[in-house]
Every structure is written in C-alpha cells, then in structure tokens.
Amino acid sequence: MDGSADTLRFEEMRAAMVASQLRTTAVDDSRVIKVMGEVPRERFVPAAARPIAYYDRDIALGNGRAMNAPLASARLINEAEIASTDRVLLVGAATGYVAAVLAELAGSVVALEEDATLAAQAREALAGMANVTVVEGPLVEGWAQGAPYDAIVIDGAVEFVPDAIVHQAKIDGRVTTGVIDRGVSRLAAGRRSEGGFGLVDFADVDCVVLPGFSKPPTFQF
C-alpha cells in the first residue's frame, strides 16, 4: 500500500475513533474533538501497532509502559478545561501523543517523561511544535522548574497524587488523573485551593498505570 493510501486509511480510522469513542461519551469540548480528529496518533505508536492505533485499547510501548486508549486521554484532557493561554504540565508523556494534542489547545506544554527511550521518541515526534518542551525526570516529582501551571494532566492511573505535583498547580489550577484502587481504575479531577486539594471521580474508564505512584506503606499494629 502506498503512502497516500496509508494516509487515507489512517484518516478514516481517526474519524471513526472520534465518531464512535468520543462523540458518544462525555467529551463535550469541541476543541478537544477537533484536535483529536487531526493529530495523527499512528505516528506515536510502534510500527507494529499502527493498524490498531485508533482502537479502544491501550498500546504497549515497552519497558512496562503503555499508551492510554484514546477515550481515557480524551476524558482527562476534556476535564482539564484547557484554555488557549494555559501553561500545562503533562505527567507521563510517553511517546508524545497527548503532548501533541495539548499543544494544539494550550499556550505552552511541559511534557514530563522519566523513560529516556520514550522521551527521545517524544522529542522526535514533537519536533517542530515550538510550544512543547519534553523534559526528563521522575514522574512522581512533577516538574517544579516550570511551575506554576494552569492545568496538570497525569496521563495514567496513580494510587495518589503527590503534594509535590499538586503544589505545582496555580491556586484554582486544575488537575486530572487516572486513579487505581485495588486493581480498578477510574478518572478523577480536582482544583487546588488555598485550603487544600481533593479529587472527585468523574468516569469509570480503564487507564494505564504509571510507575512510581504507589501509596507509602502505613504502619499497623
């Protein structure tokens, strides 16, 4: 199959993903729907996975990491209520797909990844997008050098959101994340306030688990 036929096939798959996975759910930000209908997800997955790039399933990336299914990432982005002037921190950038989507919605994006191989792939895939910076460091620490952020998107499931990340959001800044509890994942969102921070679940959606976010063990008699 030649390149033009491949391009057409992926465009059709992308349109089908938007129609069947996004428009039929609570993804109600027209900008999110438009951008996810344009960003070529197939460029951010391993070559062998390109035929399933738009399926409603996560995609293995190697070294224990995976890319979220389109719906999970779309819901997290949608609930973050990204404005065109926002500075956004993405935790768990992987190969850069969600960073590419956020870059079309926000003013600037800091894409944090701790896996050096994935970070290199993200930099290559995002080359030419001037408002995205890919940085390397432990996901659990966030990226304080770029704080404060209007919104923080954690593109995966965690057992808890560390204070170090919460405090990198502006007051009234939004945080969206997957949450994993006893093997079951869901999506949650919250806002930082002067009085603290809390998450509210908004969807029961499968979400890939990010490394390093296990709750510290508690002492019990």
Residue 212 belongs to a domain: no
Residue 214 belongs to a domain: no
Q: Are strands 87-91 and 108-113 parallel, antiparallel or unpaired?
A: parallel
Residue 145 belongs to a domain: yes
pLDDT in tens, 176-203: 999 998 889 999 999 999 989 999 999 9
Number of compact structural domains in the chain:
1
Residue 129 belongs to a domain: yes
Both tokens of residue 82? 């990204």
Residue 216 belongs to a domain: no
Residue 161 belongs to a domain: yes
Structural domain containing residue 132 = 3-203
The Cβ-side half-sphere exposure at 88, using a 13 Å CA radius, reads 34
Residue 208 belongs to a domain: no
Rounded-to-integer distance, Cα 171 and Cα 166, Å: 10
**Residue 160, domain CATH:** 3.40.50.150
Beta strands in 75-147 (DSSP E): 87-91, 108-113, 132-136
pLDDT in tens, 98-129: 999 999 999 999 999 999 999 999 999 999 99
* pLDDT tier for residue 215 given thresholds of 50, 70 and 90: confident
Rounded-to-integer distance, Cα 125 and Cα 200, Å: 33
Q: 156-190 burial by CB neighbour count: b if 16+ within 10 A, else e?
A: bbbebbeeebbebbbeebbbbbbbbeeeebbbbbb
pTM: 0.94
Phi/psi at 73 (nearest 5 deg)? -65, -40
